[in-house]
Amino acid sequence: MYLIETEDNIGFLTASYIKNRIKSFVSTKDNPYFVLALPTGGTAINLYGHLVKFYKEGLSFDKVVTFNLDEYVGLSENHPQSYHSFMFKNLFNHIKISKEQINILNGNAANLEQECTNYEEKMKKYGGIDLFIGGIGRNGHIAFNEPGSAFNSKTRVVDLTPNTISANARFFNDDISQVPTRALTMGLGTIMSAKEVIIMATGAKKSQALYHAFEDKQSTSWPVTVLQKHPRTFIIADKAAAAEISKTTKRDCGLCSFIN
Ligand code: GLP
């Protein structure tokens, strides 16, 4: 797991990395699509702005399939705060990509367990996730894998913690009672099987989670620590998010060589 502490625009760096990965992907008969796992959340908005800009400059998504990390249970797809709405508003409405290339968990499926199993199988059918992009919750959650999530967990139904519900209330007029209490999410095991992982972290509210990610031993109390054993994870953080990581922790610029 590498820390990239940067003053640069994290959304731009991450979008540049995605662009280069898509451009260098060689589509074959057996492996036609680059599989990109995509997040929601405030941190991702800036990223998508840059991806849309790259699309307008010529980046093609024709050989890309996307899988979103998570979705609320019981919120209609058209609700402005559903992750479906978020993705179309911030990315999919602005690039050329077909419905068949987009995968987002259906939080209103009649059989939620089956929906999760199907999602795992579909990812496998495409050869697994090539590049996983995520944010991080204040409590160290990745996607909606809350503290206590098993490190080998797969896509499943989860209960959200009071911490996450209150953090996400800002998107629901600060009204906690409007925030869904359950979600569907890729599991930590799903994430661990991705070939590459980038986690974006900005602001002081993420500093405690990053402290545990880099300075603490692995523990399900801090889901992000699962990535300590992932062979190719970059946590890209601004100064405020990286503030509690000791100066002796190895900073690496593995990402830099891949971007412009
Ligand atoms: C939500 C999402 C996560 C995301 C987190 C942080 O809980 N399910 O995938 O990482 O928010 O979001 P933000 O970037 O808004 O801090």
pLDDT at 22: 97
* Angle between helix 10-24 and helix 42-56 axes, rounded to 10 deg: 50
| CB distance 67 to 119 below 8 Å | yes
pLDDT at 28: 96
pLDDT at 258: 57
pLDDT at 242: 94
Q: Is the CB of 40 under 6 A from ligand 1?
A: yes
pLDDT at 61: 98
Determine which residue's CA is closest to atom 10 belonging to ligand 1. 135
Alpha-carbon gap, residue 191 to 99, rounded angstroms: 23
| 48 CA distance to ligand 1 middle (Å) | 14
| 40 CA distance to ligand 1 middle (Å) | 6
Q: What would the 3-class secondary structure string for the chain be?
A: CEEEECCCCHHHHHHHHHHHHHHHCCCCCCCCCEEEEECCCHHHHHHHHHHHHHHHCCCCCCCEEEEECEEECCCCCCCCCCHHHHHHHHCHHHCCCCHHHEECCCCCCCCHHHHHHHHHHHHHHCCCCCEEEECCCCCCCECCECCCCCCCCCCEEEECCHHHHHHHHHHCCCCHHHCCCEEEECCHHHHHCCCEEEEEECCHHHHHHHHHHHHCCCCCCCHHHHHHHCCCEEEEECCCCCCCCCCCCCECCCCHHHCC
pLDDT at 159: 95
Alpha-carbon gap, residue 156 to 30, rounded angstroms: 28
Q: Is the CB of 144 under 6 A from ligand 1?
A: yes
Determine which residue's CA is closest to atom 5 belonging to ligand 1. 137
Determine which residue's CA is closest to atom 12 belonging to ligand 1. 41
Q: What is the pLDDT along the chain (260 residues), one digit of tens a residue?
A: 889 988 878 999 999 999 999 999 999 999 999 999 999 998 899 999 999 999 999 999 999 999 999 999 999 999 999 999 999 999 999 999 999 999 999 999 999 999 999 999 999 999 999 999 999 999 999 999 999 999 999 999 999 999 889 989 999 999 999 999 999 999 999 999 999 999 999 999 999 999 999 999 999 999 999 999 999 999 999 999 999 998 777 666 656 655 54
pLDDT at 257: 59
For the chain, list the domains and their CATH numbers.
2-251 (3.40.50.1360)
| 249 CA distance to ligand 1 middle (Å) | 25
Pocket test for ligand 1, best of 87, 141, 166, 227 (most atoms within 8 A of CB): 141
| 236 CA distance to ligand 1 middle (Å) | 15
Indicate which atom in ligand 1 lies nearest the CA of residue 143.
Answer: 9
| 5 CA distance to ligand 1 middle (Å) | 19
